[in-house]
Structure formats: C-alpha cells, structure tokens
Amino acid sequence: MNIDPNETAKQSAIGLVRGALGAVPYVGTLLIETIFDTRSRIKLARLNRFFELFAELLNRKTLMQIPQHASDEFSDLLENILGIVVRTRSDDRLRLYSAIVHGNLNSDTSQIIESEIFTNILASLTEFELILLTKLHATTENLSAAEQHPDHRGIKPVHINKEDTFILGLATSDFLTTFDILISKGLVHDDGIGRLGAPYREFIAITSVGQKLMDFVEKFVEEKK
C-alpha cells in the first residue's frame, strides 16, 4: 500500500492545529460537542478544511505559541469563528476566517473585539449580498472628489441602473431585495430618498459601517494570500 507523503503531511498539520487550538480555553469543549453532533461528518469536514487553511498560514513555532497568546478576547473570537465555520460551505469564506484568526494572534484587545464584530456581520451576509457590497465599495473608491455627494461625510453615492443587475447575474427583483436587506443591516442606504423625482433604489451609497466592513475584509484577503 502506497502512502502519499503530501497527504500524511497535511493530516499531520491538521492534527497539530487542532491540538493547539483545542488547548485554547472553551474551544476544546466546542470541538468535542461538534464530534457528537448529528451532522458531525459535514461539520468536521468544514473544521478540518479550516484547520488545513489555518496551518498554511503558520509555522511550527507560531503554532506552539497559540495557547500562550490566548486572552479571553482571543478565546471568544476563536470560539465564535469555529461556530461560524461549521455552518460555512464557501471555501473562500473559510480562507477568510482562517486569515482573521491568524491575523489576530498578536492583536490587542480592541482589535480583537472589532474583528469579532465585523466577523459576525460578515457571517450574516449571503454571497450575493457580499458581491453587491464589494462592487459598490470598489465603485465608490474610484469616484473623484467632484463625483462625491457634498451632503454626506465620507459617504459616496453611486448611480445603479438595471444593466448592473444583468452583469451580476441577478434578476432586477432579487437585486432590489438584496439592497433592501443591506439597507436593513445598515451597510448601504438609498441616497435618492428626499430627492425630487429620484428613482427608487437607483442612488445607492455605502455607509461608513459598510466601508469599514469592506476595509476589514480587504485587510484579511491580503493576509491569506
């Protein structure tokens, strides 16, 4: 029987990461509960993939230091993210969550708390919502000062027309519903409200919270590269 050395190394890395993270207060209990969950096979597969991605970001020295750096805030963040991981199907999201944990290994308390807040917001977004928010953020970043609305501080409205819905592969109704959901979450707002004759949901602005969320995501997208 031939043994694949790459697979052996990968399983070894997963085991080391699982052991190190399991030593963080409260997290070991969560891992044990997952093993005995009725959907444990699916959840364990997602956890193992997360551990594999996390291992790619670490060296052995850093790995062994994880329990030593486990403040209460880091423990809370890790426990929260592992709870999100078992419900996450997207590999890109798993990569992002692994980068968030890795990026907070040596962060101070305020940064860890901020990371947990934005991670929870991120976890609440569907793929379509995240795509729309990403595209809106990218568009507003490219606006010139003259194009930015003078009535808002740091909020940059973008004119959205129906052609954009086809570019994103969304029906117009789904497109508008998605924006309504993002508005309810405080991440964008309808900048046309109060404008005489402004069409419904055609002037969309990302809020300061939405901007900070996307800056947070971009920071850890760079981290995972």
Residue 92 · residue 217 · CB < 8 Å:
no
The rounded percent of the chain whose pLDDT value lies above 70 is 55
Q: Which H or E run includes 159?
A: strand 157-159
Tell me whether residue 191 is exposed, middle or buried, using C-beta atoms within 10 angstroms of its C-beta: 0 to 12, 13 to 18, 19 or more: buried
Confidence of residue 43 (pLDDT cuts 50, 70, 90): confident
Q: What is the mean pLDDT of residues 104-131?
A: 92
Closest by CA to 201, choosing from 220, 179, 223, 170, is 179
CA 214 to CA 62: how far, in whole Å?
28
Cα angle for residues 199, 208, 172 (degrees, 5° grid): 35
Q: What does pLDDT average to over the chain?
A: 73
Highest mean pLDDT among 56-60, 85-89, 139-143, 162-166: 85-89
pLDDT at 123 over 90: yes
Answering whether pTM is above 0.85, one says no
Confidence of residue 145 (pLDDT cuts 50, 70, 90): very low
Confidence of residue 134 (pLDDT cuts 50, 70, 90): confident
Give the other-Cβ count within 10 Å of 46's Cβ: 19
Give the other-Cβ count within 10 Å of 29's Cβ: 11
Q: What is the mean pLDDT of residues 132-155?
A: 59
pLDDT score for 3:
45
pLDDT at 133 over 50: yes
Q: Give the Å distances, CA to CA, from 109 to 115, 122, 198.
A: 10, 20, 44
In the chain, list all ranges with CATH 1.10.10.
127-216
Residue 22 · residue 70 · CB < 8 Å:
no
pLDDT at 54 over 90: no
CATH assignment, 127-216: 1.10.10
Q: What is the mean pLDDT of residues 175-179?
A: 79
Q: What is the mean pLDDT of residues 37-45?
A: 73
Confidence of residue 150 (pLDDT cuts 50, 70, 90): very low
